[in-house]
Structure 1
Amino acid sequence: MVKKKQPETNLKRRTPVFQNVWFMWFWLIFFPPVGILLMWRRGRFTKVKRIVATLIATAYFVFPIIAVMTTTLPLYNNQKEFLEKKLKLPYSLENVKKEDETITSKLNDDVTLIENIDDNGAVHELIMVGQGEGTDIVLSMGLLIGMTNPDLSQKDVGQVLKDLRLFDESYKYQKNETKVEKNTIRYNLKYDQDAGVIFSVSKVN
């Protein structure tokens, strides 16, 4: 009995997805670390081209992260937003002086408020300068903490003031300064012999 010859079949071997060039380029664009690894493992291009591609892809991946980390976020996105918050202060803002990067106003005879703004009018920092020993300074500091951290209770606000060593008579502000971070907000307190008490509020990067 003669066996019939089976017809030959041409089976085309498929290339694994991860070995395709387009797969490498996909990751180089959308997540460079994986793309760089694939490029070097598969030996794509010459060594010089791989080095150049690695440098470009690394810069493309890292620079946006650095930019975000080094960008200081504003306390308020615009002046209107901050003006609405300022209405909570039990003072009338007097002698308001606006310059390119700052807005200075007097809360009363002892307390001055400075707003540091950018070109778009966003408020990046609040600085309260207080002179004298009146309760208005402590009250203004408490109000600024409450304005910039509205979720804090009165007890929490008091704790921030305590952590700033405001009520510690033995603490030498002339030589030191204190800093407290609460819910992405940084509070800084120091004393200058000429200016007086300087209390600043800004966003934590």
Structure 2
Amino acid sequence: MQPETSLRRRTPIFQTAWFMWFWLIVFPPFGILLMWRQGRFTKIKRIVATVIAIAYFAFPTIIVMTTTLPLYNNQKEFSDAFNKEVKDLDLSYSLENLKKEDDTITSKLDKDITLIENIDGNGAVHELIMVGQGEGTDIVLSMGLLIGMTNPELSQKEVGEVLKDLRLFDESYKYQRNETTVEKNAIRYNLKYDQSAGVIFSVSKVD
């Protein structure tokens, strides 16, 4: 008489607890599906685990979406980009008479054009604001300078197209009543006119 042998069925890998936990950590949506299909825990515990896993999965995306990236990580990076663009365009502009406060750095490009950098607590530059009251040519050159340095991959022709899209060359456009915004490669350019300040041109990252 042959001895009785017992056969043990091997549990499929997709039904094992470690496989479920692995995917709950690596890719929660698939881990949640496994948890419900395996029927582990009580229904209330599964619901709680599902909420926690979804929050864990979505948190990095929410942080990225709610965090506005700076134009420049620090003042040196900004100055290097500015000086490079000035050299490429053969302009005589320079950052002079810098006045630094808690959240702004104000400087003069020339006697009629002021540049304001909005910075955060770490010194990163989040917005550039040009205020111009000089001749039209100086204002156009300053705007082209800021577009070129914040979008260095654009050609001079493409920079001109951004200026055109801002309605800068449209003599019939009433800046006293309107403002224009153009987005190019995740950079937002805004142009408006204030009777007391003059032309106001701002540059920032798209949220």
Match for 1:75: what amino acid? Answer: L
Equivalent residue for 2:124?
122
Alignment partners' CA distance in 2, 1:28 and 1:45: 14
Percent sequence identity over aligned pairs: 82
1:102 aligns with 2:104: yes
Alignment partners' CA distance in 1, 2:44 and 2:61: 26
Match for 1:160: what amino acid? Answer: V
Equivalent residue for 1:63?
59
Indicate conservation of the 8 Å contact 1:98/1:104, yes or no. Answer: yes
Aligned partner of 2:140 among 134, 138, 141: 138
Alignment partners' CA distance in 2, 1:75 and 1:120: 13
Once the two structures are superposed, residues 18-39 of structure 1 have per-residue CA deviations (whole angstroms, 9 ceiling, x without a partner) of: 1011111111111111111111
Indicate conservation of the 8 Å contact 1:101/1:117, yes or no. Answer: yes
Which structure has the larger Rg over C-alpha atoms? 1
Q: What secondary structure sits across from 2:128 in the alignment?
A: strand
Once the two structures are superposed, residues 134-155 of structure 1 have per-residue CA deviations (whole angstroms, 9 ceiling, x without a partner) of: 3111110001111111111111
Equivalent residue for 1:24?
20
Alignment partners' CA distance in 2, 1:175 and 1:50: 57
Once the two structures are superposed, residues 8-56 of structure 1 have per-residue CA deviations (whole angstroms, 9 ceiling, x without a partner) of: 4432211111101111111111111111111122221111111111111
Equivalent residue for 2:194?
192
- Structure 2's unaligned 5+ residue stretches are 87-91
Once the two structures are superposed, residues 154-190 of structure 1 have per-residue CA deviations (whole angstroms, 9 ceiling, x without a partner) of: 1111000001111111112223221112122221111
Q: What secondary structure sits across from 1:194 in the alignment?
A: coil
Equivalent residue for 1:91?
93
Alignment partners' CA distance in 2, 1:35 and 1:66: 20
Indicate conservation of the 8 Å contact 1:110/1:137, yes or no. Answer: no
Equivalent residue for 1:76?
72
Deviation at 1:68, TM superposition (A): 0.4
Alignment partners' CA distance in 2, 1:198 and 1:18: 61
Deviation at 1:71, TM superposition (A): 1.0
Alignment partners' CA distance in 1, 2:63 and 2:152: 28
Match for 2:188: what amino acid? Answer: R
Question: How many residue pairs end up in the alignment?
Answer: 201
Q: What secondary structure sits across from 2:60 in the alignment?
A: helix
Equivalent residue for 2:89?
none
Match for 1:94: what amino acid? Answer: E
Give the ranges of 4+ consecutive aligned residues of structure 1 lying more than 3 Å apart after TM superposition.
Answer: 5-9
Deviation at 1:6, TM superposition (A): 5.8
